[in-house]
Amino acid sequence: MLKIESVKVSYGAIEAVKGVSLEVRAGEVVTIIGANGAGKSTLLKSIVGLEPVAEGRVLIDGNDCTHVPAHKRVGLGVALSPEGRGVFPDQTVRENLLLGAYSRRNDKAFVEAALEREFARFPRLKERQDQPSGTLSGGEQQMLAIARALMSEPRLLLLDEPSLGLAPLIIKDIFDAIRQLRRSGLTILLVEQMAKQALGVADRAYVLETGCITLEGSGRELLDNPKVKSAYLGSH
Ligand SMILES: Nc1ncnc2c1ncn2[C@@H]1O[C@H](COP(=O)(O)OP(=O)(O)OP(=O)(O)O)[C@@H](O)[C@H]1O
Ligand SMILES: [Mg+2]
């Protein structure tokens, strides 16, 4: 479903992603783990077209979309729930959700069905649909960010650090939600610093270190890998 070939992304003189190749097959949950500044968010942004790719290719369903602008890439079935959630605090829950279906805004039936689907998936958001999003708890805002990404009915969901800043019990809820999304048939690329939980939910995983993939394997293999254990699993 997604193939990245030797992708490089730079910020001026800083090369943040230094030739990364990876793939995500339909129905898989694939995780990328890595330390702060490894280039994880940059890589996800390049997949949805929010950072330009300097070299290499991004293929969705085998089609080269390396230079397709972000607003058109939504139509290819890919959506990003960004790091830090990106929720608009003064807008209501419902308004935030509607932004996720912006590219389909003229299709009222599609938008209504998408709202109902996400309200059914996250009943808490339905209860709070008319509240300003800034009044939600951190965990609820994360659910909102995920639901907003799902409003465009993507086939591939990119999740950037959905557990960031949340309490352990809430993190469990987030990972439960990810498992449920997988059961519903969604393909997921998950970036996480909670390496243990992320590897536990992943079919396959990659380790990204200073812009390069240094290890890959099944979630289980990486959980058992001594290097991964010492570098990423120590404190969780
Ligand atoms: N807009 C930007 N302008 C310049 N440099 C940037 C920008 N965004 C990221 N960088 C740099 O690119 C590198 C990769 O950053 P990125 O945010 O992709 O890492 P990350 O793996 O997501 O880190 P974290 O775990 O902290 O979220 C870092 O060195 C960072 O300082
Ligand atoms: Mg990041």
Last residue of a domain, one of 135, 153, 171: 153
- Note whether 193 and 231 are same-domain residues: yes
Q: Domain limits at 206? A: 1-77+160-236
- Tens of pLDDT, residues 101-151: 998 899 999 999 999 999 999 999 999 999 999 999 999 999 999 999 999
- Note whether 122 and 168 are same-domain residues: no
Average pLDDT score over residue span 68-88: 92
Last residue of a domain, one of 153, 185, 208: 153
Alpha helices in 40-167 (DSSP H): 40-48, 70-73, 93-100, 108-121, 123-127, 138-150
- Note whether 91 and 145 are same-domain residues: yes
- Note whether 33 and 140 are same-domain residues: no
pTM assigned to the model: 0.95
Structural domains in the chain (count):
2
Give the count of beta carbons closer than 10 Å to the beta carbon of residue 191. 22
Give the residues surrounding ligand 1 with Cβ less than 6 Å away: 11, 14, 16, 34, 36-42, 83, 193
Q: Which atom of ligand 1 is nearest to the CA of 45?
A: 18
- Tens of pLDDT, residues 175-190: 999 999 999 999 999 9
Nearest residue (by CA) to ligand 1, atom 11, is: 16
- Tens of pLDDT, residues 16-72: 999 999 999 999 999 999 999 999 999 999 999 999 999 999 999 999 999 999 988
Distance 112 CA to ligand 2 centre (A): 32
- Note whether 142 and 213 are same-domain residues: no
Percent of the chain past pLDDT 70, that is, above it, reads: 99
The pLDDT of residue 193 is 86
- Note whether 165 and 217 are same-domain residues: yes
Q: Which atom of ligand 1 is nearest to the CA of 161?
A: 27
Give the residue, out of 7, 14, 31, 192, with the most ligand 1 atoms within 8 A of its beta carbon, to mutate for a pocket test.
Answer: 14
Average pLDDT score over residue span 148-177: 94
Percent of the chain past pLDDT 90, that is, above it, reads: 92
Last residue of a domain, one of 110, 137, 153: 153
- Note whether 70 and 91 are same-domain residues: no
Q: What does the alpha-carbon distance between residue 82 and residue 63 come to, in Å, rounded to a whole number? A: 24
- Note whether 121 and 59 are same-domain residues: no
Give the ligand at the shortest distance from the Cα of 209.
1
User: Would the pLDDT of 235 be above 70?
Assistant: no
The pLDDT of residue 236 is 45
Q: Are 164 and 193 in contact (CB under 8 A)?
A: yes
What single letter denotes the amino acid at residue 198?
A
- Note whether 148 and 180 are same-domain residues: no
